[in-house]
Amino acid sequence: MIYVRADGNGKIGMGHIMRCIAISREVVEMGEEVTFILAGEEAREIVEAAGFRVQVLGTDYALMEAEWPALEQVLPWGATVLVDSYYVTEDYLQRLETRGTVVYMDDQNVFPYPVTGIVNGNFYGDVMEYHVPIVMGGSLYAPLRREYSKTRDTGHPEYVMITTGGSDPYSITLKVLRELEKRDYLKDLPIRVVCGRFNQDFEIIKEMEQYYPKLKVLQNVPDMWNLMKDARVAITAAGTTLSELSCMGVPAICFSFADNQEYLTRYCREKNYVYFADSYLQHGDALIPRICDALEELSENPQLLEGYRHKAMALVDGRGSSRIAEVLIRLMQENVTNRR
């Protein structure tokens, strides 16, 4: 049994949960079981719908030190645990490591992690310095569902895709659509908007479909790879979605709206992995017309578009989750052997 300690809700989005589900599916494919441990109920439905057992602690996701009495009731000694939360502390991970084996999903390298393994599947993950026994870094370990590797390069690009992930606290999706409307693009430009389940503007955006037949607004999309394979270009928040788009060969216009997205956005800009990348936190609404300018420039230059498509596909092969799952299972088996 592999245990996953992760959370998802309207404030932190669903990225942690979704990438852990992708890895957990590979663990199951390899013949082992997975149990998710969540602080609250918000993500239970998604995890259970994916076919996994769930234990809910009934604690505050942002106060992980305080969850120990509840955690000790559900986590056995000697467990192999995949942890994915920005609210861990050094003491929390140290205590967890003394009970078993911990692999931590990292994005920022905030402090020395007292764990057995680190996963950082971001484009920059292999250049960060970690002092742990096992490091799974870089886009080879991007935690994607296996469907991405199976369907890459099979589509017929035809529309613009817009997504911010599970939430959109600054209403960036709506603001981009309003800017495109102002430029008279919505009448003729095929667009697929994907709203996360915590997007507060979903009803307003959905209503826009009445006026623009080429605009389709979707929510809770179970097979994003099918949507991405026919996308010509994507406007997206930085995060795992960027790796998914890269695997599918979709050129991206990228922005960040949370602190944990800033490094990836900056790195993509410096390495020229995407056509446009900048920070909403730094520029606010002034970023919206620049995003639309970038869309216009990229859309009108087929050669540029094709260049970024090939560049994207070279970054991610879509097999990262299976590589991570193999390591988790090996660690679990070593734990079992050592306990005998």
pLDDT tens digits for range 182-195: 999 999 999 999 99
Mean pLDDT, to the nearest integer, of 234-244?
94
Indicate the pLDDT class of residue 336, thresholds 50, 70 and 90: low
Asked if 2-144+319-339 and 147-315 have one fold, the answer is yes
pLDDT tens digits for range 4-37: 999 999 888 888 999 999 999 999 999 999 999 9
* Structure confidence at residue 196 (pLDDT): 87
- The full set of domain ranges for the chain reads 2-144+319-339, 147-315
* Structure confidence at residue 133 (pLDDT): 97
* Structure confidence at residue 118 (pLDDT): 98
Indicate the pLDDT class of residue 339, thresholds 50, 70 and 90: low
CATH of the structural domain 2-144+319-339, one choice from 3.90.330.10, 3.40.50.2000, 3.30.470.20, 2.60.120.650: 3.40.50.2000
- The topology under which CATH files domain 147-315 is Rossmann fold (3.40.50)
* Structure confidence at residue 209 (pLDDT): 95
Q: Tell me the pLDDT of the chain averaged across its residues.
A: 94
3-state SS string over the chain?
CEEEEECCECCCECHHHHHHHHHHHHHHHCCCCEEEEECCCCCHHHHHHCCCEEEECCCCCCCHHHHHHHHHHHCCCCCEEEEECCCCCHHHHHHHHHHCEEEEECCCCCCCCCCCEEEECCCCCCCCCCCCCEEEECHHHCCCCHHHHHHCCCCCCCEEEEECCCECCCCHHHHHHHHHHHCCCCCCCCEEEEECCECCCHHHHHHHHHCCCCEEEEECCCCHHHHHCCEEEEEEECCHHHHHHHHCCCCEEEEECCHHHHHHHHHHHHHCCCCEEEEHHHHHHHHHHHHHHHHHHHHCCHHHHHHHHHHHHHHCCCCHHHHHHHHHHHHHHHHHHHHC
